[in-house]
């Protein structure tokens, strides 16, 4: 097995990478800062800084008008995607926390995209199952409880239109995903990765972006 030219991500190199990506705007930066200040023990749940510009790029690349996010937290990823939508585009944000999504709501208002986002505070599986069964979603971002990833996937895939994307975060789970004896969230990610690799409905690649990001395109 050849790993090719493996590059170690030092702090200096990470800063260089961010400096050569689109910068966060003031509202996006504010969400990141607020999240780490208010919720230092949970801030690791926030999508990595480089994922905001990437998600926006993917929205534009597929011409997305209808996005579903499973797991919103304090709103960094939904903000980045909503800002990339056309004015009549819509994003459904699924979460269960009033407290965390209050930060998101403030950011959406400040950025002028609140009218593009519908927050549904309920178990995400209930929200997904209540949607039309027709393929109507252009892009879905999955970043919620890992043990339900396969269940979310099975609700999302039939509703993704041909050529649409599912982007799934944390699919390397801090490197622990290689542990065959893992339980809990790690075991959930292992089940998910195996499930996705064998799903003929989608073309998928697992990348080493941040904590592992899987990109899946509907055939």
Residue 167 has pLDDT above 70, yes or no: yes
Question: Which helix (DSSP H) or strand (DSSP E) does residue 192 occupy?
Answer: helix 184-197
Domains and CATH numbers, the chain: 11-218 (3.40.50.150)
User: 4 falls in which pLDDT band (50, 70, 90)?
Assistant: low
Instruction: Kindly indicate the confidence band of residue 2, based on its pLDDT and cuts at 50, 70 and 90.
Output: low
Q: Is the dihedral of CA 150, 151, 157, 160 positive or negative?
A: negative
pLDDT in tens, 86-104: 999 999 999 999 999 999 9
β-sheet bridge partners, residue 203: 217
Report pTM.
0.96
Q: Give the pLDDT of residue 1.
A: 67
Cβ burial of 136 (10 Å; 0-12, 13-18, 19+) is: middle
181-199 tens-digit pLDDT: 999 999 999 999 999 999 9
**Mean of all residue pLDDT scores within the chain:** 97
| pLDDT tens column, 22-37 | 999 999 999 999 999 9
pLDDT at 7: 86
**Which among 22, 151, 153, 5 is positioned nearest to 83, based on CA atoms?**
22
Identify whether the C-beta of residue 218 lies closer than 8 Å to the C-beta of residue 160. Answer: yes
* Position with higher pLDDT, 5 vs 160: 160
Q: Which residues, listed in sequence order, are joined to residue 67 by a DSSP beta bridge?
A: 91, 139
Which H or E element spans position 54? helix 51-61
């Amino acid at each position: 097995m050849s790993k090719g030219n493996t590059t170690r991500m030092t702090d200096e190199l990470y800063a260089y990478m961010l400096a050569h990506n689109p910068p966060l705007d003031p509202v996006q930066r504010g969400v990141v800062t607020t999240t780490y200040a208010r919720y230092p023990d949970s801030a690791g749940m926030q999508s990595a800084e480089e994922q905001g510009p990437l998600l926006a790029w993917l929205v534009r690349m597929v011409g997305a008008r209808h996005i579903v996010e499973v797991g919103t937290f304090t709103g960094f990823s939904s903000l980045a995607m909503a800002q990339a939508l056309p004015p009549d585009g819509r994003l459904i944000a699924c979460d269960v926390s009033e407290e965390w999504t209050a930060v998101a709501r403030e950011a959406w208002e400040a950025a002028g995209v609140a009218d593009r986002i519908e927050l549904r505070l309920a178990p995400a599986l209930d929200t997904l199952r209540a949607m039309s069964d027709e393929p109507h979603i252009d892009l879905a971002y999955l970043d919620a409880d890992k043990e339900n990833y396969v269940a979310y996937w099975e609700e999302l895939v039939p509703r993704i239109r041909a050529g649409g994307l599912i982007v799934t975060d944390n699919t390397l789970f801090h490197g622990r995903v290689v542990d065959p004896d893992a339980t809990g969230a790690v075991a959930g990610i292992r089940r998910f990765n195996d499930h996705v690799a064998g799903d003929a409905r989608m073309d998928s690649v697992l990348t080493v972006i941040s904590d592992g990001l899987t990109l899946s395109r509907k055939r």
